[in-house]
Amino acid sequence: MQIGIIGAGIAGLTCAYELCKKGHTVDIYETAPFIGGQASTFSVRGSLLERGYHHLFLSDTYIADLIEELGLSNQLKWFESSVGLYYGGHIWKFSTPIDLLKFKPLPFLDRIRLGVWTLILQRTKTWNKFEEITAQDWIIRHMGIRSYRVIWEPLLRGKFGDYFNKISMTWVWGKIYLRVASRKKNGQKELLGYPMGSFEEIISTLSDRITSSGGNIHTNTTVEKIISQDNSLTGLQIRYRTGESYTRKYDKVVSTTPSYVLPFLAEELPQKYINILNTTSYLSAVLLILVLEKPLSDIYWLNIADRTIPFVGIIEHTNMIDNSLYGNKHIVYITNYVTKDSDIYLSGGSELLKTFIPHLKTINPDFEESWIVEYYHHKIDAAQPIVETNYSSQIPDHKTPIKGLYLGNTSQIYPEDRGTNYSVRLGKHLSDIINE
């Protein structure tokens, strides 16, 4: 079959790779000048770095299997993680049960209660029971109002903004269950994986395998229209980087665009399916990446539970990966999830940096602006679907009402949260149903 794929993220690349192995001819169309989507990279101090922070958990078996199949297992290294929580003007370590017991902002009995219920969630393998209740209601009822106010509400507000009190408890369950699955079986330390050489190792190898099998990857190329007749796919209208538009016939097409984009491309979609697509809302990720002379902290992943600070997390990449890869500098991601009309989304990089610097000094009083060697500003649209209660009922089918047209994106990854591992799973699943 002749198959077109819209989007060269991990899901699109994996789908194309699997379809090529099955003997199909595949063309991928990507609007951006690069491939890899949210896992794409750029050059920093002589090495490649992800535009958005990335790592793997021990439970990420789909991408681990793909890495092995691609012959890259020797590139994947595992490191002990360090997690912290900034609250009340202090960085609290939050990696082990002992760290929780030392968390003085909560009364001792609340710490015990929080720990017991966290352990229960870690050992709960089914998610369905959490679908109909918000994280806010469940946490207050089981972990207590103080745990919610001190820890969970600031984190939910930072992650989901005004949607914080609508988020399903299933999402929180997934986060907790995933984290414990990435711990050593004989210990308490969480292990995180990273392909040395960056995720570009995976992306470029997938690309090579696709093109060597007869597939094509077109960057700087926009799909203007999905063409169909009598609710059956016929092809794609494509505008290449030269500005010229062409029509290409295809037997099947996979769109990995966000759900809300598809109705603008496929005019024959029925309103009922469009309504389902438009049910899911998204937040964009805004990242400021600092290259520093000195480390900001000794924590890899620092959650900010203080909403007077205008960012939700600090991920210090070089507290996990040796900074010699980046000219002995220190790489720090400052992250936010926001709507497109927010001040943070609309601000430029220099403006954000000026806004953030005083708060970095609050977190680390020794921090000086002179530590900043350079910085990078990236925005990733539709980065985080809003997972509300009963979310499973609003997930669109991969098979659209237009015969031969398929949809695969992060809004369909559930009950797990979006990530490269589940994008690999999604790409494999799409290739299977297309090949039926």
Q: Where are the domains of the chain?
A: 2-54+199-280+387-434, 96-189
Find the length of the chain. 436
Alpha carbons 303 and 315: distance in angstroms, whole number? 9
The share of the chain scoring above pLDDT 70, in percent, equals 98
Secondary-structure class of domain 2-54+199-280+387-434 per CATH: alpha beta
- Nearest by Cα to 256 from 399, 420, 407, 402: 407
The pLDDT-based confidence of 435 (bands split at 50, 70, 90) is: confident
Three-state secondary structure call for residue 81: coil
Query: Per the structure block, which two tokens stand in for 322?
Result: 């040796």
Q: Is the dihedral of CA 258, 231, 404, 394 positive or negative?
A: positive
pLDDT in tens, 108-140: 999 999 999 999 998 898 899 999 999 999 999
Tokens representing 404 are: 């031969």
Mean pLDDT of 264-286: 95
**Are residues 373 and 293 in contact, defined by beta-carbon separation less than 8 angstroms?**
yes
Residues 374-411: pLDDT tens digits?
999 999 999 999 999 999 999 999 999 999 999 999 99
Q: Cα separation of 228 and 235, whole Å?
A: 7
The structure's pTM equals 0.93
Among candidates 114, 55, 83, which has minimal Cα distance to 188?
A: 83
- Quick one: DSSP state of residue 152? I
Instruction: Domain 96-189: give its CATH code.
Output: 1.10.3110
DSSP 228-245: EETTEEEEEEEE-TTS-E
Position 418 confidence tier, pLDDT thresholds 50, 70, 90? confident
Q: Please state, in angstroms and rounded to a whole number, the distance separating the CA atoms of residues 54 and 39.
A: 7
Would you give the DSSP letter of residue 221?
-
Instruction: Judge whether 359 and 309 are in contact, CB under 8 Å.
Output: yes
Six token digits for residue 186: 């004989």
